[in-house]
């Protein structure tokens, strides 16, 4: 289970859930990568994102608004396997 953060610095409604550590340069602050959803012109967009871990500790600008109770990587893997299965089905037709 991971936390769901709201990014109050963003110009539009944006949320982030951390998934994996990100390798940073020597002397650079620790960062964490994950998935971010943003509402742009009334539509939700999803993309990979990363934030510095000290930024996520700033509860005024990155409040925790919920907990993600599913295995996100399991959903990504399922989508990839589904795509492979459809590709195999198309090749046999």
Mean pLDDT over all residues of the chain? Answer: 88
- Count structural domains, the chain: 1
3 pLDDT exceeds 70? yes
Predicted model pTM: 0.76
Start-end of H helices in the chain: 53-56, 72-92
The pLDDT tens digits of the residues spanning 35-55 come to 999 999 999 999 999 999 999
Kindly report the backbone phi and psi dihedral angles of residue 61, in degrees, each rounded to the nearest multiple of 5, phi listed first: -100, -15
| Angle, CA 12 vertex, CA 24 and CA 31 arms, to 5° | 10
Judge whether 58 and 29 are in contact, CB under 8 Å. Answer: no
* Beta-sheet strand order (sheet of 43-52): 43-52, 31-40, 14-22, 2-6, 64-68
Q: Which domain holds residue 38?
A: 2-92
């Amino acid at each position: 289970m991971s936390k769901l953060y709201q990014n109050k610095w963003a110009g539009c409604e944006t949320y982030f859930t951390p998934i994996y550590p990100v390798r940073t340069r020597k002397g650079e602050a620790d960062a964490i990568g994950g998935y971010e959803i943003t509402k742009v012109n009334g539509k939700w967009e999803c993309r990979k994102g990363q934030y510095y871990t000290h930024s996520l500790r700033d509860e005024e600008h990155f409040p925790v608004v919920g907990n993600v109770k599913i295995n996100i990587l399991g959903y990504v893997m399922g989508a990839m396997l589904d795509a492979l299965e459809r590709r195999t089905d198309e090749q046999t037709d």
